[in-house]
């Protein structure tokens, strides 16, 4: 069969990949587009998003408000030119999605409904009940189907980027149905391969979020940026880590310790809701502080011995009982469904045991505002990329919008690039393709002997990441994590493979994913080690203060033969000079009064 060649190849069929594919198809119908995904697109993690997507809609809100919340929520690590473009484009993209058929929830008078979300001073989170990601992905998927120029490679696992003559010219992928390893060539490649929460044991992330695109770009010489910033979501179900959406707190849910005390009043949490807004339905800000602060407050309660013991570890209670059955069923029905199915309880009658859980990577492939990497022809968007929007802590509901805003922009830029370059040089690439085929088939699948099962190695990695690079880190814990990662590299050369089948060989896929997790974890641990300050989601117990003089900079981790090399890049400040992200106790203990010491 002839090698397929496209103008633009998207790796990933989630929100970012499909939005980018549509952008290319719309930009120029004569361009050929391919979407390769290791799962059927509707199974991408975007489908699991519950709470909503942020974009200014009300006349009482403003783009500057959204920008400021994003920047201060991100502890001044966001590039402000990127934020300004994002907040301005967000409402247009969300409206575009409506025109493509996304069923946004409405107010009784027919306007788009918005709900409060953590760290946002105003209500600006659009939602479709609490299945927002499902509806957004469905809308994008169905829209993509109408373009003849888009070809899909469903259940193809991309394992390597093809770089030749100083530019990216395609990928090598394993067709999971047949076990064949084949090239897919393209003038431009966009990595939309999602996050890497699976580097940690307890995560809301689907099993497929193994940082594949990040690992591939890193090995090809692109930097991984800001990897030390890992977001813990404060409310995962204790046993499984399944997410209980922030919308449950947006709608009025509260967090209680084992004494039934609303402990967040004891902590400084960050931006409270606008105290001058008398109509705000929530009139509380405690549970709507930024995620990093809420997760850190949990550790505070743990240290004070005020958490609840459960068979699955320490927890606190998320209580939504006071919202009543009717509101729960209308606004957050999925929360009730998840609690019944996965925790055996009904949140209408019982509080939900929750604890912080790894949720999102602020870091990722180093790209500029156009999604371009340092390799011509290679782009990235969505959670795989670090677009510099989210800084040191992403605000809930900014990610779904980011997929749209930067998926579209990156798609356009990749299309533009593809129009200006020659077709990939198939002949020159054949050596690399053969090498990758041999690496996978002979090096792994048909390999004899070996000592370690990949599942054992993954468990070791998980233990090292959780204990050394979790919510609080220090020089000692990070050094230990880095040491285990380096030992795991050696052990990985002695990995053994039991399953020799060609058809949907999940052991082989797990191996290929694991090498990406190792690379991502290495970059993460070393970036965290070298950032000797605390900022946003990166909290060093041995360096508790933020240090703008030294570290108001993005970290860039480059792969070398030994430990990664860490460089730094200045943060772009346009209109909002760095400020203290410290606020007074936001609310009185009754939780009914909006009195705040300051805002
Ligand atoms: C449970 C949950 C709830 C969330 N809720 C919200 C929310 O309410 N609001 C919000 O803003 N954000 C939310 N987020 C975050 C947000 O959903 C994600 O950041 C976002 O959906 C990521 O989209 P993406 O397109 O970048 O990647 P994904 O949707 O993860 O898609 C990645 C794609 O890449 C493909 N892929 C990966 N590796 C390979 C490979 N090697 N070869 C081929 N294909 C590959 C996959 O098959 C998939 O199609 C939530 C996240 C989770 C986990």
pLDDT in tens, 256-271: 999 999 999 888 765 4
Residue nearest to atom 6 of ligand 1 (CA): 49
pLDDT in tens, 104-151: 999 999 999 998 888 888 999 999 988 999 999 999 999 999 999 999
Tell me the fold of 233-358: Flavocytochrome C3; Chain A, domain 1 (3.90.700)
Residue nearest to atom 3 of ligand 1 (CA): 49
pLDDT in tens, 40-83: 999 999 999 999 999 999 889 999 999 999 999 999 999 999 99
CA of 484 to the centre of ligand 1 (A): 28
The CATH code belonging to domain 5-51+131-231+360-429 is 3.50.50.60
Report helix, strand or coil for 163.
strand
Sign of CA dihedral 363, 68, 250, 381: negative
φ, ψ dihedrals at 150, nearest 5°: -95, 120
pLDDT in tens, 407-442: 999 999 999 999 999 999 999 999 999 999 999 999
Under 8 Å between Cβ of 128 and 105: yes
Report helix, strand or coil for 124.
coil
The token pair that represents 457 in the structure block = 């190695």
Answer CATH for 431-570 from 1.10.3720.10, 1.10.1300.10, 3.40.640.10, 1.20.58.100:
1.20.58.100
pLDDT band at 277 (very low <50, low <70, confident <90, very high): low
- Structural domain boundaries in the chain: 5-51+131-231+360-429, 233-358, 431-570
pLDDT in tens, 504-559: 999 999 999 999 999 999 999 999 999 999 999 999 999 999 999 999 999 999 99
Annotated active-site residue 336? The verdict is no
CA of 367 to the centre of ligand 1 (A): 18
Under 8 Å between Cβ of 400 and 83: no
Strands of 426-582 (E only): list them.
Answer: 472-473, 539-540, 553-558, 565-570
Which residues have C-beta within 8 Å of that of residue 311, sequence separation ≥ 6? 239
Strands of 471-529 (E only): list them.
Answer: 472-473
The ligand 1 site (C-beta within 6 Å) comprises: 11-17, 36-39, 41, 44-46, 48-53, 132-133, 157-158, 192-195, 204-205, 208-209, 212, 243, 360, 382-384, 396-400, 403
% of residues, the chain, pLDDT over 70: 94
Identify the pLDDT of residue 596: 28
């Amino acid at each position: 069969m002839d090698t397929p060649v496209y103008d633009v190849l998207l790796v990933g069929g989630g929100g970012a990949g499909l939005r980018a594919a549509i952008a290319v198809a719309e930009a120029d119908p004569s361009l050929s587009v391919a979407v390769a995904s290791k799962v059927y697109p509707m199974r991408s993690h975007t489908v699991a998003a519950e709470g909503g997507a942020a974009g200014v809609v009300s006349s009482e809100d403003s783009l500057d408000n959204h920008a400021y919340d994003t920047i201060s929520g991100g502890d001044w690590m966001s590039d402000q030119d990127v934020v300004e473009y994002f907040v301005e484009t967000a409402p247009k993209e969300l409206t575009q999605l409506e025109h493509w058929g996304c069923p946004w929830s409405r107010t009784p008078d027919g306007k788009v409904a918005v709900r409060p979300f953590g760290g946002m001073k105003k209500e600006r989170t659009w939602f479709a009940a609490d299945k927002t990601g499902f509806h957004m992905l469905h809308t994008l998927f169905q829209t993509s189907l109408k373009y003849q120029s888009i070809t899909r490679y469903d259940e193809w696992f991309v394992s390597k980027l093809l770089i030749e003559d100083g530019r990216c010219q395609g990928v090598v992928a394993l067709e999971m149905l047949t076990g064949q390893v084949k090239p897919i060539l393209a003038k431009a490649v966009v990595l939309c391969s999602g996050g890497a929460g699976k580097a940690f044991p307890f995560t809301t992330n689907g099993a497929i979020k193994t940082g594949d695109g990040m690992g591939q770009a890193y090995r090809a010489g692109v930097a991984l940026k800001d990897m030390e910033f890992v977001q813990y979501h404060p409310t995962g179900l204790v046993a499984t880590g399944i997410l209980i959406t922030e919308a449950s707190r947006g709608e009025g849910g509260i967090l209680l310790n084992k004494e039934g005390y609303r402990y967040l009043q004891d902590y400084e949490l960050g931006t409270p809701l606008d105290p001058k807004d008398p109509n705000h339905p929530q009139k509380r800000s405690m549970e709507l502080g930024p995620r990093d602060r809420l997760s850190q407050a949990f550790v505070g309660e743990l240290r004070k011995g005020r958490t609840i013991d459960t068979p699955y570890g320490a927890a606190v209670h998320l209580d939504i009982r006071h919202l009543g059955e009717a509101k729960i069923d209308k606004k957050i029905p999925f929360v009730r469904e998840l609690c019944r199915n996965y925790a055996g309880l009904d949140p209408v009658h019982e509080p939900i045991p929750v604890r912080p859980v790894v949720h999102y990577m602020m870091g990722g492939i180093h790209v500029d505002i156009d999604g371009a990497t340092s390799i011509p022809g290679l782009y990235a968007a969505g959670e795989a990329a670090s677009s510099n929007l989210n800084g040191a802590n992403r605000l809930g509901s900014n990610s779904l919008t980011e997929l749209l805003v930067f998926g579209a922009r990156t798609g356009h830029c990749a299309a533009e690039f593809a129009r200006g370059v020659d077709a990939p040089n198939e002949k020159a690439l054949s050596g690399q393709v053969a090498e990758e085929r041999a690496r996978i088939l002979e090096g792994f699948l048909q390999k004899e002997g070996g000592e370690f099962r990949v599942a054992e190695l993954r468990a070791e990695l998980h233990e090292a990441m959780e204990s050394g690079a979790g919510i609080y880190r220090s020089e000692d814990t990070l050094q230990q994590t880095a040491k285990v990662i380096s030992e795991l590299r050696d052990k990985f050369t002695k990995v053994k493979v039991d399953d020799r089948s060609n058809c949907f060989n999940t052991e082989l896929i797990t191996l290929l994913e694991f090498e990406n997790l190792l690379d991502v974890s290495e970059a993460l641990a070393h970036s965290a080690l070298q950032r000797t300050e605390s900022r946003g989601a990166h909290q060093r117990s041995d360096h508790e203060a933020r240090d703008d003089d030294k570290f108001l900079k993005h970290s860039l981790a480059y792969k070398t033969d030994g430990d990664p090399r860490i460089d730094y890049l200045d943060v772009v400040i346009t209109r909002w000079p760095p400020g203290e992200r410290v606020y007074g106790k936001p609310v009185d203990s009754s939780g009914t009064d909006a009195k705040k010491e300051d805002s």
